[in-house]
Amino acid sequence: MTISDREWVARHLELLTAEIPSDVVAVTGRLVADTIAIAGYARAHGIGGTAFDAASVQLLGQGSSVWGGEAKAAPLDAAFLNGTAAEALDFQEVLINGRNNGHAAVVIVPAVLALAGQLNSSAEAVTRALWVALAANIGLGEALGRAHRANGLGFRTTSLTAAPAAALGCATLINNSLDTALAALGICASTLPAGLLSAMSPKMGSYSPDKDLSVGFSARHALHSALLAGAGATGPEAPITGDKGWLASYGAGSADTSYLETPPSERDLTAYSIKLYPANFGCQAAIRASIELGRQFAPDQVTRLHLEVKSSSAASLSTRSIENHLAARFSLPFAAASAFVRQRSVLADFEGKAVADPAVHAFIDKIELTGSDELEAAHLSRGIFPARVTAYSGENVLARVSYDGPFDGYSAAQDEAVFAEKLASLCGTERAEVLLAYSREPLSDARLRTLV
């Protein structure tokens, strides 16, 4: 007998009284700091969907924080604005999971913190709400599978899984009621603003800011659903597994309810990985390898740079028509060429005139991109995004570098150091220190108050 939706929600509410593991504390702290820093940079520079703040909401002198600006907004509006900004750079975390990938913190963190600021929630309550939401997102992603974005379909995983998970997490800040939590989940899942992938299709080449706005809508929707549930609104008894429910509507043949049976306490939150470079996660390993090769060889020494990645990334990240920053972030040819030529991959490389740099575009012509079924199988098995990059001079191999991901082989100290560098690059040393302090002590009420 498949676990019922009510029982599934009840298991997540058990996290509200369980001992909080050290890895949960570390992951939630880091994801909050990372999300705020990314959103702040995007808004301060007017990137992507943040350029339309004035058309979206009325900014106020009081309310919840709008990251990257001095104004505040009503909680629902703040969730929208901060979700939009957190998505704009495509610099956010990714879930490394063999059944499903996608972003979660860009929806969950804006929704939870907007509500926490309104309710003056404790740091512990916020950490537990994030734990509930991040664990639920993994369960929903595994149960859903990948078919919602295959065979011509284009539903965004972030829209489908992170919003209901965030609604569940937000509900725990309102009260500890199982009925409220189930209603929040049900209202959210049954009324989703289900984002589409059309803005990131190489065939269409649109690369438009609806990608960012979609996440903003999801964050707002999640919070709104929880608030409605807290006010007494109800949803279906089985919104996830029931007839004509969430899985039946979006599963597209890959849904498997057995994945909902894993206890939330056993969900490994370290599967959420931040990004090292400001581009799509499918580009990360190739970027790191290209930087290393670029430090060994001059561009004129290389006649061909061969990128071998998983088959799905070779198709979805294949664009060579780089008309704006978003197209650049979703292009393996551009990301690798930029990394090789510039021997780095930083924010400035995907902005303004840098996107049209003649030296980078000349090297794009030397990029050969192929998809590997072997690497695709590794991705489906372990959730990783591997890449093999080979530099050629004629038919002679100059060097080959392979990575499973951007942090492959890094020690804990190296990982912490590059995270600190990332925060500093996004918001400056002083603000980065504030965010780092929170990431190390997310259970501190004082640290939380500096954020909300």
Domains contained in the chain, CATH given:
5-273 (1.10.4100.10), 281-403 (3.30.1330.120)
pLDDT in single tens digits along all 452 residues of the chain = 589 999 999 999 999 999 999 999 999 999 999 999 999 999 999 999 999 998 888 777 778 899 998 888 999 999 999 999 999 999 999 999 999 999 999 999 999 999 999 999 999 999 999 999 999 999 999 999 999 998 889 999 999 999 999 999 999 999 999 999 999 999 999 999 999 998 777 777 678 889 999 999 999 999 999 999 999 999 999 999 999 999 999 999 999 999 999 999 999 999 999 999 999 999 999 999 999 999 999 999 999 999 999 999 999 999 999 999 999 999 999 999 999 999 999 999 999 999 999 999 999 999 999 999 999 999 999 999 999 999 999 999 999 999 999 999 999 999 999 999 999 999 999 999 999 999 999 999 999 998 87
Over the stretch 219-265, which tens digit does the pLDDT of each residue have? 999 999 999 999 999 999 999 999 999 999 999 999 999 999 999 99
* 338-370 per-position pLDDT tens digit: 999 999 999 999 999 999 999 999 999 999 999
Do 104 and 156 meet the contact criterion of CB atoms below 8 Å apart?
no
- Report whether 195 contacts 218 (CB < 8 A): yes
The pLDDT tens digits for 290-322 are 999 999 999 999 999 999 999 999 999 999 999
pLDDT value, residue 63: 84
pLDDT recorded at residue 259 = 97
Locus of tokens 């500890």: 176
pLDDT attached to residue 57: 81
> For position 320, what pLDDT does the model report?
95
User: Which residues, other chains included, contact 225 with Cβ-Cβ below 8 Å and sequence gap of 6+?
Assistant: 163, 167, 170, 184, 185, 187, 188, 191
CA distance 417 to 172: 34
Q: What is the pLDDT of residue 71?
A: 84
**Residue 113: count of CB within 10 angstroms of its CB:** 29
Task: Pinpoint the alpha helices (H) of 5-120.
Answer: 5-13, 22-44, 53-56, 75-87, 105-119
